[in-house]
A = this chain, B = another copy of it.
Amino acid sequence: MTVTLKDIAAVAGVSHSTVSRALNGNPMIPPETAVRIRKIADELGYVPNTIASGLRRTHSKVLGVLVRRIDDAFLAEVLQGIEDVLYAEGYGLFLATSRRKPEREQAIFRSMSERRVDGVIVCSTEVSQEHLHQLSKFGVPTVLINNQAAIEMAHSVTHDDMSGGLALTRHLIELGHSRIAYLGHSRTGRITRDRLAGYKEALNQAGLPYRAEYVAAGPNGSAEGGAMGMEKLLKVDVRPTAVVCFNDMMAIGAMHALRQAGFGVPEDCSVTGFDNIPLSQYVNPPLTTFHQPRYELGTEAAEMMLRLLSRKHKNLNAAETIALRGRLVVRESSGPPPDGTRNGQ
């Protein structure tokens, strides 16, 4: 049924080795023979069997990508970045989502090992050190994107969360705010801490006090989580006049909760997000946020992986981290504090 090298060889009157070499551009085969064979292959409708060639060669030209979930504006764009460079380099992309289930993650790593992917890119998931170790034991290189727990001896690309938290908070301070809250996300580790650290640092630099009651966390990173977190903050005695949210979706939820409670944004309370997801500019009011180089996170990770694969002498030990910088995006959800709160509380 399907045509193989042997079939082409029979028609061309050569051995299948010659066909293989001709098709792979091996210089051993003179050009005229090569084009003749190529032509016959095309006429016969030959489609090389990557799976057979992968068996003989050592690599599969496929990269595994593990991501928490696909239907997330942030991750989707990172994925697109990865896919674009993999496509350009002729690599395939084997995708799986962990959905935060450790057993699913486990199964995925196994499946990727079995499929002999050349490497795996792990994106924004709480991946355990052991799993990664298990992979590296098989010589499967790994690149981490925004890993939650800082993992030793790993290749990773991250964005600079701390400077983002700092930039947003400083922006609010410059607008005159002093009662600034931080609305985090209880299920994320390093990232929420880093952003919180930036927030604290900004307060510190401005000589403003840090108040524990101004730090709340939503149960998750969605709009619902933001709304729930905001409701907590609204119960504080002296309400904050600005809130730095963990991400844009939470900020959107927070604004929703504020509106529900009868407060205007930014008149009564400024709100900032984080990530600059495409939507943040279309909500009303458009969101002040910190832009993440999402797409670039993907491309950088993919390129790092490709570099890793090209230097065959896998000195996987040499850890490497590249940190991408974001930028403050000021829109209309942040403004001066309400009158009377300008200086001090």
Contact = CB atoms under 8 A, between A and B. Distances in A.
Contacts of A95: 83, 93-95
Given A49-B116, A95-B95, A76 B72 contact: yes
A283 B94 CA distance: 34
Contacts of A137: 45
7 contacts: A2-B138, A49-B114, A51-B54, A70-B70, A71-B73, A73-B73, A283-B283
Given A49-B114, A116-B50, A83 B55 contact: no
Contact of A115 (B50, B110, B253): B50
B70 A76 contact: yes
A284 interface: yes
Contacts of A55: 49, 51-52, 55
Given A70-B76, A70-B77, A279-B279, 6 more contacts: A47-B113, A50-B116, A51-B54, A51-B55, A87-B108, A93-B96
B87 A104 contact: yes
A104 to B, nearest CB: 7
Interface string A67-104: 00111110011011001100100001111110100001
Given A93-B94, A282-B253, A282-B283, A116 B80 contact: no
Interface in A213-232: 223
B60 A71 contact: no
Contacts of A2: 138
A109 B137 CA distance: 34
A115 B223 contact: no
Nearest to A107: B87
A26 interface: no
Contacts of A139: 1
Nearest to A72: B76
A172 interface: no
A71, A92, A115: most-surrounded residue (chain B CB, <10 A)? A71
A284 B139 CA distance: 51
A341 interface: no
Contact of A71 (B45, B52, B80, B256): B80
A13 interface: no
